[in-house]
Structure 1
Amino acid sequence: MKKIALFSFAVFSIVSISACTKNSDNKYDSVISDLKSELAVKSDSKLTIGKYKWIYKVVHNVTNADMSKGDMIEVYPKSERDSEKLSNINTDSQMNDIYAQSKIVTLQKIVSKIAKKLPNDNSGIELGYQSEQKSKGLIPIASSVKSMDIIPIHD
């Protein structure tokens, strides 16, 4: 009888924990959906990047200068080739290439607009590309929380 009770408790605990984890990501479903539609629309424009396939990943317990144990929605190109293209666009924009700068600003405005829909200032959105050195992770070109742009938008 004890074994049945312990087994039942263990199963209930696992189901409860997994349900909580999925529910915490569900609060970002509409934000991610808005990001997907904005990036799809802007990909058709001459001002933005090509038709990239994006990865949308919610990272929990992020602590940085702007948030404490918050959630970050990371958005980056799915393919290594597209990450390299976005990296080149970012480099060109820093070298005063006006066309590249307009592409980066467009992406920053998308992130800024959608970040206003986040539930609080302890969650954010970062859009960027994967570093060639995997240990460095995401190199952001656009980053915002609900009330401010972490990476300022320079029109």
Structure 2
Amino acid sequence: MANKQKGKLDITTFFYGFGASVVLVGSMFKFVGWDYANELFIAGLSIEALVFLVSAFERSTDDKEYQWENVFPQLTNENGGEAANLSSYQDAMKQFSSTLGDLSSQIKGLNESLSAIKTEMASNAQASKEMHGKVNEFNQQLGEYNEHMLKINAKYREFLASDK
């Protein structure tokens, strides 16, 4: 098992946690309606107030400086921390430019395809309007046909009735 190094106990952090726990227990007593809730609140908030007062005057002694070259190794190289060589940067920019050019031509092709689709959709919309008009006209003629058939049937019934 790897050796784990434990940090040292910070008294201020201890009292932060202790005061907060007393406040939480006091709030639980308050919610449940148990005795001594007010006293626990007073004690916990007093501890918190004292810790905040002490921490206002506390000075940090061990500012941790990150080793950024370990986090981002591309920041340095074997040449004593100089920037990455220029040729690899130029190659990357050429590749980016080529990719951007390909993307631009693909977007133009997409635009042309969308224009063709738009034209076809407009043509289909016009044909649909014309078809709608013809269907309405057909429905009207069918209604007239039904009226005429009813009249013819009525005349035929009259003829049959008069023949008797």
TM-score by length of 1: 0.26
Q: Which one has the bigger strand percentage?
A: 1
Q: Which one has the bigger helix percentage?
A: 2
Which has more radius of gyration? 2
Flag the structure with more relative contact order, 1 or 2, with Cα contacts below 8 A and sequence separation at least 6. Answer: 1
